[in-house]
Chains A and B, each alone.
Chain A
Amino acid sequence: MATLYIDNKPHEIKPGNSLLETCLSLGFDLPYFCWHPALGSVGACRQCAVKVFKDADDKKGRLMMSCMEPATDNQRISILDKDAVEFRAGVIEWLMTNHPHDCPVCDEGGSCHLQDMTVMTGHAYRRFQYKKRTHLNQNLGPFINHEMNRCIQCYRCVRFYNDYAGGTDFGVFASKANVYFGRHEEGTLESEFSGNLAEVCPTGVFTDKTLKQHYTRKWDLTMSPSICQHCSLGCNIIAGERYGDLRMITNRYHGEINGYFICDRGRYGYEFVNSEGRIRQPILHQHVVDREKILTEVSVLLKNSKVIGIGSPRASLQSNFVLKELVGKAHFYQGVSTREQSMDELALAILKDGPVRTPSMKEVEEADAVLILGEDLTNTAPMLALAIRQSIRQEPMKEAAKISIPPWNDAAVREVIQDKKGPLYVATVAETKLDDVATSTYRAAPEEMARLGFAVAHLLDQTAPEVIGLNEADLALANRIVHSLLSAERPVIISGSSCQSESVMKAAANVSWALHKKNKNVGIVLTVPECNSLGLAMMGGNPMEAAFQAVENGEADTVIIMENDLYRHSSKTVADKFISRCKNVIVLDHSHHATSANAHVLIPAGTFAEADGTLVNNEGRAQRFFQVQESANTIKESWRWLLDIGAASDNARIKQWKNFDDITVTIANEEKLFNGIDKVSPPSDQRMADGQRVPRQPHRYSGRTSMLANVNVSEPKPPEDYDSGMSYTMEGSRTLPPSSMIPFFWSPGWNSVQSVNKYQKEVGTALRDGDPGVRLLETNSDSPVDYFKEIPEKFRAIKNQLWIVSVYHIFGSEELSAKSASVAQRVPGSYLLIHRNDSEALKLTEGEIIEFQIKEQQYRLPIKWSDSIAQGTAGLPIGLNSVPYVDLPAWGILKK
Chain B
Amino acid sequence: MFSIVRSLWITFLHMFHKRETVQYPEQKNKLTTRWRGRIVLTRDPDMGERCVGCYLCAAACPVDCISLQATEDESGRRYPEFFRINFSRCIFCGFCEEACPTYAIQLIPDFEMSEYNRQNLVYEKNELLIDGPGKHPGYNFYNIAGVAISGKGKGENDNEMPPIDTKSLLP
A133/B86 contact (C-beta < 8 A), A178-B166, A706-B65 known: no
B89:A705 contact, CB within 8 angstroms: yes
Q: Which residues of A contact B59 (CB under 8 A)?
A: 110, 217, 219-220, 700, 702
- Are the CB atoms of B155 and A134 closer together than 8 Å? yes
In Å, the complex CA distance between A175 and B171 comes to: 9
CB-based contact B118/A713 at 8 Å: yes
Residue of A nearest to B119 (CB): A713
Looking at the complex, which of B3-11, B25-33, B139-147 is the stretch in contact with chain A?
A: B139-147
A contact residues around B118 at 8 Å (CB): 713-714
Partner of B145, one of A105, A135, A217, A706: A105
B32 to chain A, nearest CB (A): 28
Give Cα A877–Cα B146 distance, bound, in whole angstroms.
Answer: 44
Instruction: Knowing A706-B65, A709-B84, A712-B119 are in contact, say whether A217-B154 is a contact too (CB < 8 A).
Output: no
User: In the bound complex, do residue B58 and residue A243 qualify as a contact, i.e. CB atoms below 8 Å apart?
Assistant: no
CB distance from B11 to the nearest CB of A (A): 45
Contacting residues, chain A, for B145 (C-beta < 8 A): 100-102, 104-105
A214 to B54 Cα, complex, angstroms: 13
B159 touching A706, Cβ below 8 Å: no
State A103–B58 Cα separation when bound (angstroms).
15
Q: Are B161 and A212 in contact (CB under 8 A)?
A: no
CB–CB A149/B84 < 8 A: no
A132 touches B84 (CB 8 A): no
**Chain B residues whose C-beta falls within 8 Å of the C-beta of A214 in the assembled complex:** 69
B163 touches A105 (CB 8 A): no
Task: Report B129-171 residues with CB < 8 Å from chain A CB.
Answer: 141, 144-147, 154-155, 157, 159-169, 171
- Report, as a range, how many residues of chain B touch the other chain: 35 or more
The reply to whether B89 and A706 contact each other, CB–CB distance below 8 Å, is yes
CB neighbours of A712 from chain B (8 A): 119
Q: Is residue A545 within 8 Å, beta carbon to beta carbon, of the partner chain?
A: no
| Nearest chain B CB to A136 CB, angstrom units | 5
Query: Which of B61, B71, B124 touches A710 (beta carbons < 8 Å)?
Result: B124
Residues of A contacting B155 in the complex (Cβ-Cβ under 8 angstroms): 134
Give chain A interface residues in 83-113, CB to chain B under 8 Å: 100-105, 109-110
How far is the CB of B106 from the nearest CB of chain A, in Å? Answer: 16
Measured between C-beta atoms, what is the minimum distance from A697 to chain B in Å?
11
CA distance A175 to B86 in the complex (A): 52
Residues of the B chain whose Cβ atoms lie less than 8 Å from the Cβ of A706:
64-67, 84-86, 89, 122
Q: Which residues of B contact A109 (CB under 8 A)?
A: 54
Contact partner of B160 (CB less than 8 A), chosen from A110, A131, A701, is: A131
A131, B101: Cα distance in complex, Å: 21
Q: Report A519-534 residues with CB < 8 Å from chain B CB.
A: none
User: What 1/0 flags go to A199-239 for Cβ under 8 Å of B?
Assistant: 00000000000001011110110000000000000000000
Q: Is the CB of B147 within 8 A of A134?
A: no
Let me know if A176 is at the binding interface, CB within 8 A.
Answer: yes
Q: Does A689 contact B (CB under 8 A)?
A: no
CB distance from B83 to the nearest CB of A (A): 10
Task: Give Cα distance in the complex from A515 to B101, angstroms.
Answer: 64
Known: A105-B78, A132-B161, A702-B58. A243 touches B69 (CB 8 A): yes
Q: Scan A38-74; emit 1 where CB is below 8 A from any B CB, else 0.
A: 0000000000000000000000000000000000000
Q: How far does the alpha carbon of A707 sit from the alpha carbon of B63 in the complex, in Å?
A: 12
- Residues of A within 8 Å of B58, CB to CB, are 220, 702-703
| Chain B residue nearest to A212 in the complex (CB) | B72
> Would you give the 0/1 interface string for B26-59, flagging 1 where the beta carbon is closer than 8 Å to chain A?
0000000000000000000000000011111011
The answer for the CA separation of A149 and B148 in the assembled complex, in Å, is 11
Contact B146 A180, beta carbon cutoff 8 Å: no
Q: Which residues does chain B contribute within 8 Å of A216, judged by CB atoms?
A: 55, 70
Chain B min CB distance to A764 (Å): 31
B161, A131: Cβ atoms closer than 8 Å: yes
Q: Is A28 an interface residue (CB 8 A)?
A: no
A722 close to chain B: CB less than 8 A: no
A272 to chain B, nearest CB (A): 21
Are the CB atoms of B53 and A215 closer together than 8 Å? yes
Find the A residue at minimum CB distance from B148. A137
Give the CA-CA distance A104 to B59 in the complex, in Å.
13
Knowing A132-B146, A705-B86, A706-B66, the reply to whether A104 touches B119 (Cβ < 8 A) is no
CB contact under 8 A between A703 and B122, given known A133-B164, A217-B59: no
Q: In this assembly, does A174 line the interface, its C-beta being within 8 Å of a C-beta of chain B?
A: yes
Would you call A466 an interface residue if the criterion is a C-beta within 8 Å of the partner chain's C-beta atoms? no
Whether B160 contacts A132 by the Cβ 8 Å rule is yes
Q: Is B64 touching A704 in the complex (CB atoms < 8 A)?
A: yes
A58 to B119, CA, bound (A): 70
Q: With a CB–CB cut-off of 8 A, which chain A residues contact B171?
A: 176
Contact assessment for A134 and B154 in the assembled complex, using a CB-CB cutoff below 8 Å: yes
Contacting pair B159 A131 (CB below 8 A): yes
Q: Which residues of B contact A176 (CB under 8 A)?
A: 171
Q: Is B128 an interface residue (CB 8 A)?
A: no
Closest CB in chain A relative to B90 CB, distance in Å: 9
Of A707, A709, A714, which is in contact with the most chain B CB atoms at under 10 Å from its CB?
A: A709
Chain B residue with Cβ nearest A698: B59
Q: Are B159 and A132 in contact (CB under 8 A)?
A: yes
Point out the residue from A104, A147, A700 that lies within 8 Å of B102, measured CB to CB.
Answer: A104
Which residues of chain A are within 8 angstroms of B69 by Cβ–Cβ distance? 214, 243
How many Å from the CB of B97 to the closest CB on chain A?
Answer: 14
Q: How far is the CB of B103 from chain A (nearest CB, A)?
A: 11
Docked Cα-Cα span, A216 to B59, in Å, equals 12
> Is A150 engaged at the interface, CB distance under 8 Å to the other chain?
yes
Across the interface, which residues of A come within 8 angstroms of B147, CB to CB?
100, 102, 105, 147, 149
A-chain residues with CB within 8 Å of residue B119 when the two chains form the complex: 712-713
**Given A131-B159, A712-B119, is A105 in contact with B124 using a C-beta cutoff of 8 Å?**
no
Query: For the complex, what is the distance from the CA of A136 to the CA of B161, rounded to whole Å?
Result: 12
Contacts of A101 in B (CB 8 A): 144-146
Residue contacts A-B, CB under 8 angstroms, 26 given: A101-B145, A104-B54, A105-B52, A110-B59, A131-B160, A131-B161, A134-B154, A134-B164, A137-B154, A149-B147, A174-B166, A180-B166, A215-B53, A220-B55, A220-B58, A220-B59, A243-B69, A701-B64, A703-B68, A705-B65, A706-B64, A706-B86, A707-B84, A712-B119, A713-B86, A713-B121
Residues of A within 8 A of B (CB): 100-105, 109-110, 131-137, 147, 149-150, 173-176, 178, 180, 212, 214-217, 219-220, 243, 700-707, 709-710, 712-714
Instruction: State the 6 A-B residue pairs at the shortest beta-carbon distance, nearest first.
Output: A100-B146, A703-B67, A702-B58, A104-B54, A134-B155, A704-B64
Having A136-B163, A215-B71, A220-B55, one finds 20 other A-B pairs with CB under 8 Å, namely: A101-B146, A103-B101, A104-B54, A105-B52, A134-B154, A134-B161, A174-B168, A178-B164, A178-B166, A215-B53, A701-B64, A702-B66, A702-B67, A703-B68, A705-B65, A706-B66, A706-B84, A706-B86, A710-B84, A713-B122
